[in-house]
Amino acid sequence: IALKRPNRWLIGANCCTLGLALYVTSLINVPALIARYNVDHCLEISGQGVELDIYYLASLGSQALPAIDRYFVLHPAGPPRWQRPGWVMPRQWWVDLRASWANDLLMREWRGWGFREERLRRYLARRQLFLGPAAQTGHS
């Protein structure tokens, strides 16, 4: 209105802005971003906030794996609730879930290739978490 532009221009500018916003957000690995933020700001690591909910992070999917691994490097005992009486420490649950995610990535066909999955595949290969011969080549 102030620039005396037609409505068509405004609609076009909004469509371009929307397209750019969608393109940029498609490049962001949201589950990994959420997991990293939660690990960095949890009570056990930062000393402030609330205890980390490992099960919530696991619900974000395999993209959260590097952040959860980082948590266990910085806090090997696991979340404090695992150490309370009556809780069975589910470290084996985490080991099994991690192996399952690695095998899922390994078994994907080439048509399921994606940049995020490839980065995760390389992360797992560097840490030798892939099971099977395809781990050596990085291809399935």
Compute CA distances 119 → 10, 62, 84, 105, whole Å: 39, 11, 36, 11
Q: Which one, of 69, 74, 48, lies nearest residue 57 by Cα?
A: 69
Question: Which residues does 97 contact at the CB level (< 8 Å), separation at least 6?
Answer: 58
Q: Which two tokens stand for residue 135?
A: 């781990």
For 14-56, the pLDDT digits (tens) are 999 999 999 999 889 999 999 999 999 998 888 888 888 888 9
- pLDDT tops 90 at residue 106: no
Per-residue confidence (pLDDT) for residue 91, from 0 to 100:
66
Domain boundaries in the chain? 90-140
Closest CA to 100 of 77, 74, 76, 124: 124
- 61-79 pLDDT per residue, tens: 889 989 988 888 887 777 7
At 90 the three-state DSSP class reads coil
pLDDT for 89 equals: 55
Q: Find out whether 45 and 71 touch, Cβ atoms under 8 Å.
A: yes
Alpha-carbon gap, residue 116 to 27, rounded angstroms = 9
